[in-house]
Chains A and B, each alone.
Chain A
Amino acid sequence: MAGAAVLGRLTWRAADVVGVATETPRVKTIAFDVDGWPGHLPGQHVDVRLTAEDGYQAQRSYSIASAPDGARIELTVERLDDGEVSPYLTDELRPGDEIELRGPVGGYFVWEPSRGGPLLLVAGGSGVVPLMAMVRRRAALGSDVDTRLLFSSRAWDDVIYRDELEGLNGDGLRVHHALTRSQPPGWSGYARRVDAEMLAEVGPAPSERPQIYVCGPTPFVEAVAEALVELGHEPLRIKTERFGPTGG
């Protein structure tokens, strides 16, 4: 049960940076070892708290990118140029640093292979992060649940987890990319924004009653959710996670 892992008071925990990896020019993945981490479910997030020398604090939420793995979690963070927290996380943190986080948080936007499928995951940009935790969990458990990932990015170089997704494609997982701004020569994938026609092609059909998870910037999520309902998917089977301009 989703709630079981997260019962009890939320407390701030020390998180040691153990690795920083570049995903795209604007996106990095930071790995932490978290003191007393209780484990998490794919789709959950953490609250991150930074404290300056003079006591000033800033707090933001970030989705967990990694599948459950002991005390280790990974956050994938997109750098927002005018942000307060994300540039610190992507540019400043290095192994040996320590920050504070609490969690895991959330239980609505989660999926485990035991919940079955078929599964439709629709990601806009760094909205792929909680969905990647689901994909990774699925792979780690050797699940063959029918899973379609439709991933919208601006350009090929902006595709987060590009090589890993390439490797995971197959065994019941089909990855479809939509590149909205520019496409590499010979591109055979989608070259436009996600729309109803694209969602119908990627499937599964509403009659298969897929569980659907949509994550991305608010306008992206709104457009996708509207198109899904238009196609005949039940609103209650569409779970959304929006992030707004305050995420920096």
Chain B
Amino acid sequence: MDALMLDGNAVAGLLQEVFTVEMTTAIGTCGGCGATDAVGAVHVYRGAGFVLRCPHCDTALMKVVAAEGRVWMDCSGLRTLEVSV
């Protein structure tokens, strides 16, 4: 157990800022193990930026870095993201 671990709720505002829709109810499929989870249920770590990790296999699903006026997102660990629009 890692005392630093948060969950997808912690990046709800940042993701909504970028995607303009509520994203914690979006469903992601892990590119590592194929598990599906709501973004709100995945593990979130805070390093230099945020890392969203699969709660089953720890694959880095997304990396999110926010600077003044810019946001970078690496979604290479996500196979699919299902978003309600």
A6 B16 Cβ-Cβ under 8 A: yes
B13 A10 Cβ-Cβ under 8 A: yes
**B16-64 with Cβ < 8 A to chain A:** 16-17, 20-22, 24-25, 38-41, 46
| Cα separation A109 to B39 with both chains bound (whole Å) | 11
Q: Which one of A3, A102, A108 has the greatest number of beta carbons of chain B within 10 Å?
A: A108
- B5, B20, B22, B46: the one contacting A2 at CB < 8 Å is B22
Q: Which residues of A contact B1 (CB under 8 A)?
A: 218-219, 222
| Cα separation A3 to B6 with both chains bound (whole Å) | 22
Is the C-beta of B75 less than 8 angstroms from some C-beta in chain A? no
**A193-248 with Cβ < 8 A to chain B:** 217-219, 222, 239-246
B22 A243 Cβ-Cβ under 8 A: no
Q: Which residues of B contact A105 (CB under 8 A)?
A: 12-13, 16, 22
- Name the distance in Å between B48's Cβ and chain A's nearest Cβ: 13
| Cα separation A202 to B41 with both chains bound (whole Å) | 24
- Name the distance in Å between B59's Cβ and chain A's nearest Cβ: 18
B7 A242 Cβ-Cβ under 8 A: yes
A108 B24 Cβ-Cβ under 8 A: yes
- Name the distance in Å between B57's Cβ and chain A's nearest Cβ: 15
Is the C-beta of B4 less than 8 angstroms from some C-beta in chain A? yes
- A3, A102, A239: the one contacting B21 at CB < 8 Å is A3
A218 B21 Cβ-Cβ under 8 A: no
| Cα separation A10 to B12 with both chains bound (whole Å) | 11
- A9, A10, A240, A245: the one contacting B7 at CB < 8 Å is A240
Q: Which residues of A contact B20 (CB under 8 A)?
A: 7-10
- Name the distance in Å between B40's Cβ and chain A's nearest Cβ: 3
| Known contacts A2-B22, A45-B12, A61-B10; A106/B40 CB under 8 A | yes
A245 B22 Cβ-Cβ under 8 A: no
